[in-house]
Amino acid sequence: MSRVHDALRRAEQAGVFNPAAPAMPGMSLGMGMGSRGAAGGAAIDPGMRSLLEQVEEIPFNPSPDAHLIDASRPHEAPMEEFRTLRTRLNHLQGLQPIHSIVVTSPSPAEGKSFAAVNLALAEANLTNNFTLLADFDFRRPIVHNMFQVDRSPGITDFLQGKAQLHEVIKRVAGTNLFIMPAGEAVINPLELLNLPEVKQMLDSLPQVFNWVILDSPPLLFAADANLLSTLCHGTVLVVRIGTTTIDSVTRAMQSLCENNVLGIVVNGARRGELYSKYTYYHSYYYSKPEPEAKEAAE
């Protein structure tokens, strides 16, 4: 992973991604926006305006194996690192209209869901920063397990006309976090994602949510994340030290249809393992992996 480390160090020194710079595209922590504009700049639809008033509130009851960050302990390493990631993304949002992002990885078990959920929690910890976490991994959904809520009704139910939008969104009590479970299992996830309703929904949600964070399947195992990346403002790639290979990162980057990679989250790094102390995060919990925690890392 030395090339990943070198790219992270170069990006930190430069302070911003230079699209004209040599080396592997998207390997820097910075901006590479596509041409898609921000849906948040459009007039707010009356139906979207009342959406938040209709959603059901659920208790914050995370699974013990979910390894979620704890806002009440802000100085612990995981919380600190996700706050750093949050700060960087919010800075990018101040430069360009970014409101919807896909969190994915080249392969399974690299920590994409772990990163997506904790990033959403970190964003929702800010005052009035309404954040939506949507589980678009219809093949192996896990967000509902991490929050110990029902999988259905969820996104697939809405896309099939079996539920209304406000019925598939839940607000976590006492927070600015909203979640959309994956919904009932479907045999044709990619065909469902190609429906025009998906684009319409992703265009509309930023009218009421400052951040819409999508957990998607790995890039090299399904085309879902590639498609979703063209419908969102940015993509965050999660790699895992000791697991992700340079070849898989290269192929994952090449598979993306647009140059909208915002950066790379390095998972599984211990303190001092990366060149800069300002790494996106190190995964404290994975220094001693537990069998029951493995699924939560996917």
Close Cβ partners of 77 (under 8 Å, ≥ 6 residues apart): 271, 282, 284
Q: Are 158 and 130 in contact (CB under 8 A)?
A: no
Of 284, 18, 12, the closest CA to residue 4 belongs to 12
Q: Which residue has the higher pLDDT, 149 or 258?
A: 149
Structure tokens at 21: 């710079």
Asked if residue 13 has pLDDT above 50, the reply is no
pLDDT digits 0-9 by tens, 175-202: 999 999 999 999 999 999 999 999 999 9
Q: With bands split at pLDDT 50, 70 and 90, how would you rate the model's confidence at 51?
A: confident
Q: What is the structure's pLDDT at 72?
A: 64
- Which residue is it, tokens 């915002």? 262
58 forms beta bridges with: 172
Cis amide prior to 217 (ω within 30 degrees): no
Amino acid, single-letter form, for residue 234: G
Residue 261 to residues 11, 51, 104, 112: CA-CA distances in angstroms?
14, 30, 11, 15
Query: Could you tell me the maximum CA-CA distance found in the chain, to the nearest angstrom?
Result: 51
Q: Are 208 and 52 in contact (CB under 8 A)?
A: yes
Residues 6+ apart with CB under 8 A from 25: 32, 253, 259, 261
Strand ranges for the chain from DSSP E: 56-58, 100-104, 131-135, 170-172, 177-180, 211-215, 234-240, 261-267
CB 137 within 8 A of CB 182: yes
Average pLDDT (41-64) is 78
pLDDT of residue 34 exceeding 60: no
The DSSP string of 232-281 is SSEEEEEEETTT--HHHHHHHHHH-SSS-EEEEEEESPPTTSSSSS--S-
* pLDDT, position 76: 65
Q: Are 297 and 284 in contact (CB under 8 A)?
A: no
Helical ranges in 96-131 per DSSP H: 112-124
Domains of the chain: 2-10+58-240+255-297 (3.40.50.300)
- pLDDT at res. 242: 83
What is the pTM (predicted TM-score) of this model? 0.76
Pairing of strands 100-104, 211-215: parallel
11 CB-near residues (< 8 Å, 6+ apart)? 17, 28, 29, 30, 263
Average pLDDT over residues 1-21: 37
